[in-house]
């Protein structure tokens, strides 16, 4: 599939010294220019999924017929297993193509909030004045509901992360990730510390930016309504059990839902939004 940025078939994710995989991926295609939400119960391997496709932790357990490849550029096929064999290649791909939003913001407290946003652009040798201006534009949008003093302080680089609330720091981390213009953005509960209003503003900004850049976002969340409102694809991680009664997550086409023309479908079968919401709310 030329439209895929990540293709996975018959892959198990297993940590060193563990007896069983924590996640099994039967088949999954992540398409370019899509917003993908990953939902599922706690312990189903959602964070492991992010670690694996984000090349943060090598959990790969591959069989002879497994497939796990990235296609950041048209016609390109990068084997995930081979990427892990070269630290130089691993660093290059992380730096050039990936971006992350973690539950813990991981901001640098000695830098201003504005500097935290633009640092990823500077690492890519982007002109500082352009990076600063683009970041200020995003601050203006994402902090539109904050008071003028706070907003101006952020835009002028006058505020440190330690001077911000938890929700404000989360939004700064949010902007840092999207301003870097990644091919693949990976987010773990990126709106978890935000109220509904600011979560919607953040998601609208993310969707607008990623669609404009032709990039893909993969978002782990427990918020079914947020997924239904903003996702193009919803991957539901189903909980199953090994023979020894240990639980694990499974990703398959049977629980991957696609949205087209405001209609949801799974395996070419149309499913109503209300029914999908009930299924996800029950299983998540």
Interior angle at CA 221, CA 150 and CA 174, nearest 5: 30
- pLDDT per position as a tens digit, 15-49: 988 889 999 999 999 999 999 999 999 889 999 99
User: 122: which residues sit within 8 A by CB, 6+ positions away?
Assistant: 128, 131
Domain boundaries, the chain: 4-283
Q: In this predicted structure, what is the pLDDT of residue 227?
A: 95
**Overall average pLDDT of the 179-204 stretch:** 92
Q: Indicate whether 193 pLDDT > 80.
A: yes
Which pLDDT band holds residue 283 (cuts at 50, 70, 90)? Answer: low
62 and 11 Cβ atoms separated by less than 8 Å = yes
Tell me which residue of 158, 136, 160 sits closest to 149, measured CA to CA. 158
Which pLDDT band holds residue 123 (cuts at 50, 70, 90)? Answer: confident
Structurally, at CATH architecture level, domain 4-283 sits in: 3-Layer(aba) Sandwich (3.40)
**Overall average pLDDT of the 174-196 stretch:** 91
Q: Indicate whether 284 pLDDT > 80.
A: no
| Token pair of 119 as six digits | 């640092």
pTM for this prediction: 0.92
* C-alpha radius of gyration, the chain, whole number: 19
Q: Indicate whether 55 pLDDT > 70.
A: yes
């Amino acid at each position: 599939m030329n439209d895929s940025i990540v293709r996975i078939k018959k892959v198990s994710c297993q940590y060193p010294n563990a007896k069983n995989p924590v996640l099994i991926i039967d088949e999954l295609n992540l398409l370019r220019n899509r917003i993908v939400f990953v939902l599922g119960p706690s312990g189903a391997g959602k964070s492991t999924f992010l670690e694996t496709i984000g090349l943060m932790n090598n959990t790969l357990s591959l069989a002879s017929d497994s497939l796990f490849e990235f296609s950041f550029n048209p016609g390109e096929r990068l084997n995930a297993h081979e990427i892990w064999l070269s630290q130089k290649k691993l660093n290059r791909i992380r730096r050039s193509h990936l971006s992350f939003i973690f539950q813990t913001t991981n901001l640098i407290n000695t830098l201003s909030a504005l500097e935290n946003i633009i640092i990823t652009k500077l690492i890519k040798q982007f002109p500082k004045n352009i990076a600063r201006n683009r970041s200020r534009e995003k601050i203006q949008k994402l902090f539109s509901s904050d008071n003028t003093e706070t907003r101006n302080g952020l835009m002028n680089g006058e505020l440190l992360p330690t001077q911000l609330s938890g929700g404000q720091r989360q939004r700064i981390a949010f902007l840092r990730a999207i301003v870097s213009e990644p091919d693949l953005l990976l987010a773990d509960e990126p709106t978890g510390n935000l109220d509904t209003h600011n979560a919607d503003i953040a998601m609208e900004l993310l969707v607008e930016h990623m669609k404009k850049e032709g990039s893909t976002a993969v978002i782990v969340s427990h918020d079914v309504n947020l997924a239904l409102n903003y996702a193009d694809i919803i991957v539901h991680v189903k909980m199953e059990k090994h023979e020894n009664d240990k639980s694990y997550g499974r990703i398959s086409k049977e629980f991957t839902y696609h949205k087209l023309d405001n209609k949801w479908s799974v395996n070419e079968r149309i499913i109503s939004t209300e029914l999908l919401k009930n299924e996800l709310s029950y299983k998540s």
